Amino acid sequence: MWSACVLFLAFSSAALALDNGLMRTPPMGWLAWERFRCDIDCQNDPYNCISEQLFMDMADRLSEDGWKELGYVYVNIDDCWSSKDRDAQGRLQPDPKRFPRGIPHLAQYVHDRGLKLGIYGDMGTLTCGGYPGTTLDKIETDAQTFADWGIDMLKLDGCYSNSSYQEQGYPMMSKALNATGRPIGYSCSWPAYQGGLPPKVNYTLLGQICNLWRNYDDIQDSWDSVMGIVDWFFDNQDALQPAAAPGQWNDPDMLIIGDFSLSLDQSRAQMALWSIMAAPLFMSNDLRTISSAARSVLQNKAVISINQDPLGIQGRRLLKEKSGIQVFQRPLSKGASALVFFSRRSDMPYRYTTSLKTLGYQPGVFEVFDVFSEQRLPELKDSTQFTVSINPSGVVMWYIYPAADRWKEAEFEGFSKKLIGPKFHRHANEVDAPLVL
């Protein structure tokens, strides 16, 4: 085990090298793992196997179906892409049958569509799927290989290693990536292998090395998995929330919206809570067959705008009620904020009554935009009680803006019109009466 002094120097050296200016808002795109895993049987399952065709298909969908314009620009390869052996020069190489034209060809295909290509590696002897890992002596070689291929993002896992190895390797890769001269976003799985929390994880230093990092367990295609991740992140929000900032993000893992397990309400809940967390938005689904309902959640402009807020402040859970209702809030730029009312109930819609004052808002009058109904609601005084009806395992999500003066009103109307266009409309102002929203 390195001494604390040596580890600090390793972090500091990498910090000076990182400064890549990337991912100033949470990155968005598509990632193969949760939906397609390590399916390498292209003979019997050519439509779903990990191959260049799968990633070309997803690049086509991102570029042609309205995703790219919303910010979903990364096409990310995960595990099981490589050959079982390095080449004669000691470099990683793709499986020749599944990627017959090589990674540079795929990168060019992706770049020609205005997108970016991400790839997967592992800081250890093997990847989690049993393919060649990146040992310490191969860090510079692999970083340069990725740069030569035209890679735009690296996710570096941590299977088949140990804490001492990771302490050396993750900072070394940060420095090596930046030494290539190619801007490559860097996703580290290091915290997830160290329990995710201080004192084992120093997030102040980690933020100087990586653009994003996996903190916790892999997501599975189940509502229970989503809830386990949500509970862990918000139960530990005092330690995790300060770590997030432009260019450095906590990553609760992929969006499973459009797969097999989530209802429409649960899909909205994952999207809303990931946006409150300022989380990277990496979908892992089949964009070739995704339903219109799932697409509408993932392409909701208001939720994306909240997620991509330039302040980059991660939100917090404000309340856990005995009724099963939880309330989350995220500060946004220009004095705005996002509120999420979330039901952990499983019986029926719940009518939850509160006020903005109760939720910690300063005295004043506020404009409210309902994100999923895409409606502008009546203005609210901080002291006015209101009631929201929240579906079981569902959310109500609001964008809130102070209506203190005319220029703020103009900002709010611009936000609303930009997001919902011709559907924009306004209710009559009713700031004194109790409201049912």
Altogether, the residues listed in the chain come to a count of 437
184 pLDDT tier (thresholds 50, 70, 90): very high
8 Å CB contact between 164 and 124:
no
Mean pLDDT, the chain, as a whole number?
92
pLDDT exceeds cutoff 80 at 189: yes
Taking only the tens place, the pLDDT of each residue in 130-178 is 999 999 999 999 999 999 999 999 999 999 999 999 999 999 999 999 9
pTM of the model: 0.92
How far apart are the C-alpha atoms of 137 and 301, rounded to whole Å?
45
Question: At residue 216, what is the residue type?
Answer: Y
Taking only the tens place, the pLDDT of each residue in 198-251 is 999 999 989 999 999 999 999 999 999 999 999 999 999 999 999 999 999 999
Active site residues: 157, 218
8 Å CB contact between 127 and 79:
yes
Strand-pairing partners, residue 154, are 119, 186
Percentage, residues of the chain above pLDDT 70: 88
Taking only the tens place, the pLDDT of each residue in 72-102 is 999 999 999 999 999 999 999 999 999 999 9
As a whole number, mean pLDDT of residues 166-191 equals 98
Domains of the chain: residue spans and CATH: 4-307 (3.20.20.70), 316-436 (2.60.40.1180)
Tell me what pLDDT residue 413 has.
Answer: 61
pLDDT exceeds cutoff 80 at 62: yes
Nearest Cα neighbor of 104 from 54, 140, 151, 143 is: 151
- From the centroid of its chain, how far is CA 433? 39
Taking only the tens place, the pLDDT of each residue in 282-317 is 999 999 999 999 999 999 999 999 999 999 999 999
19 pLDDT tier (thresholds 50, 70, 90): confident
As a whole number, mean pLDDT of residues 47-64 equals 98
End-to-end alpha-carbon separation of the chain, Å? Answer: 57
Question: At residue 67, what is the residue type?
Answer: W
Taking only the tens place, the pLDDT of each residue in 348-395 is 999 999 999 999 999 999 999 999 999 999 999 999 999 999 999 999
How far apart are the C-alpha atoms of 374 and 393, rounded to whole Å?
20
Per the structure block, which two tokens stand in for 341? 């009312």
> Worst-scoring range by mean pLDDT, 86-90, 264-268, 404-408, 414-418?
404-408
8 Å CB contact between 283 and 274:
no
Tell me what pLDDT residue 233 has.
Answer: 98
As a whole number, mean pLDDT of residues 42-64 equals 98
8 Å CB contact between 335 and 402:
yes
pLDDT exceeds cutoff 90 at 424: no
Taking only the tens place, the pLDDT of each residue in 32-52 is 999 999 999 999 999 999 999
Tell me what pLDDT residue 1 has.
Answer: 33
Helix (H, G, I), strand (E, B) or coil at 108: helix
Tell me what pLDDT residue 409 has.
Answer: 55
Per the structure block, which two tokens stand in for 387? 């009631």
How far apart are the C-alpha atoms of 159 and 255, rounded to whole Å?
22
